[in-house]
A and B are shown apart, each in its own frame.
Chain A
Amino acid sequence: MKRLLLATALTALSGAAFAQDVVRLGTEGAYPPFNFINDAGEVAGFEREVGDELCKRASLTCEWVTNEWDSIIPNLQSGNYDVIIAGMSITDERDEVIDFTQNYFPPAASAYVALAADADLKGIVAAQTSTIQAGYVAESGATLLEFATPDETIAAVRNGEAVAVFADKDFLAPIVAESNGELMFVGEPVQLGGGVGLGLRESDAELKEKLNAAIQSMKDDGSLNALIEKHFGPEAAKF
């Protein structure tokens, strides 16, 4: 019976339209201003605008999908979506398992945020799981406290679970600015990673070429810089 139902379901699904191929963009949806779910329940932010523009320039039909950060690479490899667009920094470790396009966000600084200026950065430091920041904290000699979502890393500092949080400076900046002086940047910013790129399966060379060309055209006509300035403010690093 189950098999019968399954077979019926498969036939129903395969009958559903044979239109143009769709490129599915996978994002986390919890990392403002890179990507977040806005109040209408849709993916929004810098990467939403960049992704839509890239798809337009590469003449692709794109659809947005959200996936938890933890399993974002396995689900790409399994084919549940075709592109990772989730503020993912280009690193050698990741490059071994997936492919990256050229960066669409320049190599940016990561920074510590704490409740007090004299916070001990060798103490307990919060970072999001499987990020370059988590790797950096682990090697810095501090005690790493990992969380599944970026928001929880901030909450951990606010409630005293961690002394500081280490994350992308561009993600932290609006949070610090709106905390009414409760949170502050501590220590020197650290340059990590090779910028943010789109993640693809290693076998998707054709799609990679198309997206690379689209990113290059956005860099060349300045529209990428305009979007960076719109979402990250005038001080953000640009191309």
Chain B
Amino acid sequence: MFDACADPKSIEGLTWAACYLTSGKHIDFYWSFVTVLLLLALTAPAALAMGFAGATAARSRFLPISILGKGYAAIVRGVPDIIFFLFFVIALDQGIEYLKSLAVCEDHAWPWQGLEFRVCPEAKVPLGKSSAFWHQAYGFGLAVFTFAIVFGAFAANVLYGAMNAVPRAQLETAEAYGMSHGQVFRRILVPQMWVYALPGLSNLWMILIKATPLLFLLGVKDIVYWARELGGSKTQAYEYPHPDWRLWYFLGLLVFYLIFTKVSEIVLARLSARLSHGQATAAGEAQRKAAA
């Protein structure tokens, strides 16, 4: 990055540290923080949407939909995450390529031949000749989708419980006013359920933050991958040889995660206070008394 860094083995002290910390690999490391934050920013709403759909389906009075919603939560929650991240992603990737091959390939041979999966080159997603960026973006997209499915199942269960926790009297009153089922759901049930869902959802958020290292299983290089890679001892084959510094890198990650979860806690606490406002819960009652 700097001119002084042209020959790293001849420099020492602060200059060395400055050059070391701005090497291309470190820049990749810093960018991976953005990757993780972006993943969280996309996954959290996606998982919430999946959860909401799952919970709504589970409450449906139409049996097949209800079974679908409950089955989704039960199956995904029961399968170990690591299996999901190892096998589901490969299956999803192959499934997408198979569907695409039906549309673009001339030869419709069954792609699963023994241990290999073969489709014509035009059906590859992304195409073999696409730039590395597309390969990464695709891997990232698969990651977001997989995280959304896994965490959506947990969120579905939380939201299902929260919907059932809304006092029945509230819904009955709404019905007595002549609201339709849809209106009761939208105007009464959903606005009130969040306060019951929030503790469970905040747990999920904390777990999601810590689950991001699973990204590496999907080929996305996250902060834990880079910390391990940068911290590992380096021989003279590298420009900046150093002993095993993983401890320092992982301490850095520890600080990052602690700050991040602390900030999350503060935000969630505020959100909780806001949602409790005017609710017929202990927290809502406490707020009312404090104000009076």
Contact = CB atoms under 8 A, between A and B. Distances in A.
Given A97-B115, A149-B228, A39 B235 contact: no
B241 A178 contact: yes
Contact of B130 (A17, A37, A152): A17
Interface string B3-47: 000001000000000000001110110000000000000000000
Contacts of B141: 9
A33 interface: yes
A112 to B, nearest CB: 18
Interface stretch (B132-140, B161-169, B173-181): B132-140
Interface string A212-239: 0000000000000000000100000000
A174 B119 CA distance: 43
Contacts of A97: 115
Contact of B117 (A10, A45, A79): A79
Contact of A40 (B23, B122, B124): B23
Interface string B224-247: 000011001101111111001010
Contacts of A154: 233
Nearest to A79: B117
A13 interface: yes
A156 to B, nearest CB: 11
B129 A17 contact: yes
B47 to A, nearest CB: 13
B24 to A, nearest CB: 4
A22 interface: yes
Contacts of A22: 128-129
Nearest to B97: A79
Contacts of A175: 233, 235
B261 interface: no
A95 interface: no
Given A19-B129, A155-B244, A79 B233 contact: no
Interface in A15-33: 16-24, 29-30, 32-33
Contacts of B236: 174, 178
A65 B238 CA distance: 19
A39 B129 contact: no
Nearest to A16: B130
Contact of B246 (A18, A67, A74, A155): A155
Contact of B24 (A41, A149, A155): A41
Chain B interface size band reads 35 or more
A38 B239 contact: yes
Contacts of B96: 6, 10
Interface in A116-162: 149, 151-152, 154-155, 158
Contacts of A209: none
Nearest to A9: B141
Contacts of B217: 68, 71
Contacts of A9: 141
Contacts of A203: 113, 116, 118
A71 B86 contact: yes
A22 to B, nearest CB: 4
A174 B238 CA distance: 11
B99 to A, nearest CB: 9
A38 B116 contact: no
A30 B131 CA distance: 23
A17 B283 CA distance: 59
B238 A32 contact: yes
Contacts of B237: 32-33, 36, 45, 174, 231
Nearest to A24: B128
B185 interface: no
Contacts of B132: 63
Interface string A37-56: 11111100100000000000
Query: Nearest 8 CB-CB pairs, A to B?
Result: A40-B24, A151-B232, A41-B24, A39-B23, A39-B239, A174-B235, A22-B129, A32-B237
Given A33-B237, A41-B27, 7 more contacts: A13-B130, A16-B127, A16-B129, A39-B238, A79-B116, A97-B115, A178-B236
